[in-house]
Amino acid sequence: MDGPSTQCGLDVSLAVIGGKWKPLILYHLQDGPTRFSEIRRRVGGISEKVLIQQLRELVAMTVLVRHDHHQVPPVVDYALTPFGETLVEALVPLCEWGNRNRAEVAGMLQRSSKAASV
């Protein structure tokens, strides 16, 4: 039942980084292992529920590893796996594209009255 859409790898990537937050989360994990609350602060605007959800999914895809320090109060951090790092690298051009065209895109979003805080 493979549809004709199975020729390009984008469907695969989208299955991994789909959603509003995953790419952002990965981006903010580039500097090494990061604690849950720190990720939350860095990403900004994401709710705890959604963040955990996304982190779990990324861990399930072996893009991240969760490290529980077994302390109380809880100390847990998340880090990119080598596999995850290859993903982040594939994400870089898109990130740069975004930076290059931030102003332009922001302007367009405004004009189509879909204004956001971009």
Partner DNA sequence: GGTAGAACATACCAAAAGGTAAGCGCGAGG
Partner DNA sequence: CCTCGCGCTTACCTTTTGGTATGTTCTACC
Rounded to a whole number of angstroms, the minimum distance from the CB of residue 83 to DNA is 20
27 binds DNA (CB under 7 A): no
Rounded to a whole number of angstroms, the minimum distance from the CB of residue 105 to DNA is 15
- Contact code string over 39-78 relative to DNA, x by CB under 7 A: ------xxxxxx-xxxxx---------x-x---xxxxxx-
Distance CA 44, CA 24 (A): 10
Binding partner at 80 among a second copy, DNA, none, C-beta below 5 to 8 Å by kind: none
DSSP 27: H
Binding partner at 59 among DNA, a second copy, none, C-beta below 5 to 8 Å by kind: none
Q: Which tokens belong to 21?
A: 């937050």
Give the list of residues 6+ apart from residue 22 with CB closer than 8 angstroms, or none: 16, 54, 57, 58
Q: Which amino acid is at 55?
A: L
